[in-house]
Amino acid sequence: MQFTDFQDSFRHKGLRKKLVDFLRSKGIHDEAVLEAINQVPRHVFLDNAFLELAYEDRAMPIGEGQTISQPYTVAFQSQLLEIKKRDKVLEIGTGSGYQACVLEKLGAKVHSIERQRKLYEKTQKLLQAMKSKVATYYGDGTLGLPAFAPFDKIIVTAGAPVVPQSLCEQLKPGGILVIPVGDEQNQRMLRITKQADGELVTESFDNFKFVPLLGKEGW
């Protein structure tokens, strides 16, 4: 990824460093994740009106009633995924493209699906302009991406009512699915690991609040 066409000032870099210190103080301990957040210019993914708030730990509107996740949430999900270089990762909910770029910085080969056509188009253009190698798709991510399955890791960045069966099926043995599951107000962050024998082991973490995962195996 190169950001040479975008203004990334010393001020932005300084604000990112502060954000990283804040995330560390909140318990994010994976240094690779913190460094990825230190390097990806979040302000580039936001509309100009929100530039000043880009490095606050806040979710922000990105149009079409959707939001870019809070930096803490991006860091938390990225940390749970335990990304290794060249992991093939599927993201459900491209949104602004920020989470996808953080995963790319961590060395993953990222495929990302978005169901809002306008957001899909806008973010595809941005990622191309940034020379990102994230591959974007338009469609219902609750069904996964069978043409490219199986995946080492799958991340869902919208709140699901249940764990979509298709996503479990598209996980490699040893693979990890990170997904917020709950009602519309509150979701529990789950990490589901597929054992070598295909058995699924679920761990439950903190509460979060995401926009809803819509679609065939969503709301």
Q: Is 144 in the site for ligand SAH (CB under 6 A)?
A: no
Best CA proximity match to 78, nearest among 132, 120, 21, 35: 35
What part of residues 57-96 is at the interface with ligand SAH (CB under 6 A)?
A: 66-69, 92-93, 95-96
- The region of 171-179, 182-190, 196-204, 210-218 touching ligand SAH under the rule CB under 6 A is 210-218
CB-nearer residue toward ligand SAH: 66 or 187? 66
Q: Is 158 in the site for ligand SAH (CB under 6 A)?
A: yes
* C-alpha count within 13 angstroms, C-beta hemisphere, residue 212: 10
Q: Is 142 in the site for ligand SAH (CB under 6 A)?
A: yes
| Catalytic residue check, 9 | no
Q: For residues 138 and 179, give the distance between their C-alpha atoms in angstroms, rounded to a whole number.
A: 20
Interaction mask 19-58, ligand SAH, x per CB under 6 A:
----------------------------------------
Q: Which two tokens stand for residue 123?
A: 């973010």
Q: What angle do CA 47, 89, 181 make, to 5 degrees?
A: 75
Q: 212: which DSSP letter?
A: B
Q: For residues 88 and 79, give the distance between their C-alpha atoms in angstroms, rounded to a whole number.
A: 16
Binding-site ranges for ligand SAH (CB under 6 A): 66-69, 92-93, 95-96, 98-99, 113-116, 119, 140-142, 157-158, 211, 213-215, 218
